[in-house]
Amino acid sequence: MKKIKNIYSKHEEILNYLIVGFLTTFVSLGSYLIFVNALFPNKSDLSIQISNVLSWICAVTFAYFTNRIFVFKSKSQNKEKLKEAIKFYSSRIASLIMDMILMYILYSLMHIDDTISKLIVQVFVTIANYVLAKLLVFKK
Residue 38's φ and ψ, nearest 5 degrees, are -80, -40
From residue 137, give the alpha-carbon distance in Å to each of 16, 21, 87: 17, 16, 6
Q: How high is the pLDDT of residue 140?
A: 62
Report pTM: 0.81
Q: How confident is the model at residue 11 (pLDDT cuts 50, 70, 90)?
A: confident
Q: Can you say whether residue 76 is alpha, beta or left, with left for phi > 0 and alpha for psi between -120 and 50 degrees?
A: beta
Per-residue pLDDT, 87: 87
Helix, strand, coil content of the chain in percent (nearest 5): 85, 0, 15
Distances (CA, A) of 130 to 1, 18, 111, 139: 28, 9, 29, 11
Query: What are the tens digits of pLDDT across the range 19-53?
Result: 998 999 999 999 999 999 999 888 888 999 999 99
